[in-house]
Structure 1
Amino acid sequence: MPTATRLAHRVADLFGCTRAEAEQYIQNGWVSVDGHVVEAPQHPVDGEQVTLDPDARLEPVEPATVLFNKPAGVDAIEGPDMAAAHVTPASHWEDDPSGQRILQRHFHRLTPLVPLDREASGLMVLTQDGRVWRRLSEDADEIEHEYLVEVRGEIAPYGLHRLGQGLEYRGRALPRCKVSWQNETRLRFAIKAVRDGQLRDMCRQVGLDVVSIRRLRIGRIPIGKSANGAMPPGQWRYLPVGEKF
């Protein structure tokens, strides 16, 4: 009777590679056991058929970063309906330009970053990568965000100028930001160091009520578009390795 062994051992023996290389192949989803991809090097095998994808490449096992188009009503970081639960293989954007292959390990321990109001929609980030976490946490106030804010009401005299400079929020003088009308009911903000509730309060100070808020961009990273249009709400794509906020 065959003796069970670790999958990494079997791959190394079958395909003439080192144990470390075998583990890379497995963790990157290139190895199947009886036709099913297995990503765990310690997975026990005995008589099963073990195959290596003919397109397999030796490459580092990289942590994943996901860009999610959060719908309004979904909690970004805390709450009963958290965004991380919506990031599944089924909700992956079919026009994702990253070329990244979906792996089960990409859905483990995804940390949500960059808060977004429950009522707001748009781009948010979930990551396994400590480098991304540090960038979006430690340098958060230096990264510009772009928002599209739908409003109603009549803006106060010099209101657009006041939105760009001179307002306060919770006792703090707000830094300058860029604000422009996209159309008669939508304002586009390019702003740094934004706090929860700040955009609604800024608009209220110049006589406008906010109908909706959508985040379009964080730093250099947008929600994403293809020939078929923007990535739909409730779907996600990978941040390609090497792209920075």
Structure 2
Amino acid sequence: MSTIKLNKSPDGSDEAPKRSKPVRRASPTLRDRTQPPPKPAPRTVEKASSADRQNSHTEKPARQDRSRQEGKPGDKSHARKDTRNEPRRESRNDSQHHSRKEYNADRPVRRDDAAPRRPVAPTDPDAQPRLSKVMADRGLCSRREADDWIVNGWVKVNGEIIEALGTRIDPDAEIIISTYAKEYQAENVTILLHKPVGYVSGQAEDGYEPAVVLVKPENQWSEDPTQKTFHRGIYHGLAPAGRLDIDSTGLLVLTQDGRIARVLIGDDSSVEKEYLVRVEGELSANGMAKLNHGLSLDGVQLKPAKVSWQNEDQLRFVLREGRKRQIRRMCELVGLKVVGLKRIRIGRISLGKLPAGQWRYLAEHEKF
């Protein structure tokens, strides 16, 4: 125990000397050295005490705390329900998200997985077109040529060789033609013949010979620009592409090439054919207008034509169709009689100086 020495005053009295400054009284616990120092309070207690000190300064937060604990309405901004321990309510988007996650657990996501697919009806094989028709529609060849190529094994459909006639396929199937077929097709010839009166275009009838009998070496035009020589192989598959009446003359096309035949006489053909027509009689009122457009044959409206006077007794016709004896019947409907008819042009090919009864080859650069 320490001792404190006190100095006496100069006058020898026991009165304590006066201090110039007041002494701050220390805490008793600090002054008592015999007691162990106090332990620091726990942190939670300090927080609680600091919260208590903060709440002691203001009264409004205390009211808010009481309103929260007691469940009173209180202020709307502070009276919120404590939902931390409650289970979360699933929204519509969350359910969709979970369902997609479970659906896509086994395979990658695709854009069209969300929407159900419509079932595809099986294709009826009997309703599909024949291979030869599809080839002709695509302009690869004629149906007759297509049958020959199929039998020879020159046609592949989706990588498979087809050899059976009448095979039906998908209209969008891939068709590959062998080079042998293309070489065979390149050898096909087309003949331009100046048909005279007295020959029929196709098969012989009523004792009249077909025009093809005029295709002989001695009848080949000496001025043929192709300079090709005659060979008997051209007779194979040679057929007329269009008709010309027995009492008409002019340009007639005979060909082995099915593509040319389709261009000239196909259902969707629009190739022009030009004629010079010698007539007799008196044209009826509005007859020229009717010849150009306004006549019907067998109850079917004719396509528009181009008809004009070439001279005082000859008309010029340009047609895009070929009905049986069409020009002669058209003229009869307007009071005219045909006494002579000559075809001078088919598409871009003209008869030119080719003499009657002679023929020449169609050159490679010539197109209808």
- Common fold by TM > 0.5: yes
Match of 1:169 in 2: 297
Q: Equivalents in 1 of 2:349, 2:309: separation in Å?
A: 22
Q: How many residues align?
A: 182
Superposed CA RMSD: 1.8
Structure 1: tracts of 5 or more residues without a match: 1-58, 225-229
- After TM superposition, the score normalised by the length of structure 2 is 0.47
After superposition, residues 75-86 of structure 1 pair within 5 angstroms as 75-79=200-204, 80-86=208-214
Match of 1:93 in 2: 221
Q: Equivalents in 1 of 2:309, 2:225: separation in Å?
A: 30
Given that residues 178 and 191 in structure 1 are in contact (C-alpha distance below 8 angstroms), is that contact kept between their aligned partners in structure 2? yes
Q: What amino acid is the match of 1:243? A: E
1:108 deviation in Å? Answer: 3.3
Q: Equivalents in 2 of 1:123, 1:223: separation in Å?
A: 6
- After TM superposition, the score normalised by the length of structure 1 is 0.69
Q: Comparing 203-212 with 95-104, which one deviates more in the overlay?
A: 95-104
1:178-224 deviation per Cα after TM superposition (whole angstroms, max 9, x unaligned): 11111111101011112111111110111100001111111111113
User: Is 2:368 aligned against 1:240?
Assistant: no
Q: What amino acid is the match of 2:350? A: P
Given that residues 69 and 123 in structure 1 are in contact (C-alpha distance below 8 angstroms), is that contact kept between their aligned partners in structure 2? yes
After superposition, residues 1-245 of structure 1 pair within 5 angstroms as 62-79=187-204, 80-138=208-266, 141-224=269-352, 230-245=353-368
Match of 2:150 in 1: none
Q: Equivalents in 2 of 1:101, 1:128: separation in Å?
A: 17
Query: Taking every aligned residue pair, what percent have the same amino acid on both sides?
Result: 45
Given that residues 273 and 347 in structure 2 are in contact (C-alpha distance below 8 angstroms), is that contact kept between their aligned partners in structure 1? yes
Higher relative contact order (CA 8 A, sep 6+): 1
1:62 deviation in Å? Answer: 2.0
Q: Equivalents in 2 of 1:97, 1:140: separation in Å?
A: 31
Q: What amino acid is the match of 2:256? A: Q
Work out which of the two has the higher radius of gyration on C-alpha atoms and give 1 or 2: 2
Moved over 3 A (4+): none
Q: Equivalents in 2 of 1:133, 1:242: separation in Å?
A: 17
More strand by share: 1
Q: What amino acid is the match of 1:166? A: G
Q: Counterpart of 2:233 in 1: which secondary structure?
A: helix
Q: Counterpart of 2:253 in 1: which secondary structure?
A: strand
Q: Equivalents in 2 of 1:209, 1:86: separation in Å?
A: 30
Given that residues 274 and 319 in structure 2 are in contact (C-alpha distance below 8 angstroms), is that contact kept between their aligned partners in structure 1? yes
Q: What amino acid is the match of 2:199? A: V
Q: Equivalents in 1 of 2:269, 2:262: separation in Å?
A: 12
Q: Counterpart of 1:152 in 2: which secondary structure?
A: strand
More helix by share: 2
Specify whether residues 134 and 170 from structure 1 end up closer, same or farther in structure 2 by C-alpha distance, changes over 3 A only: same
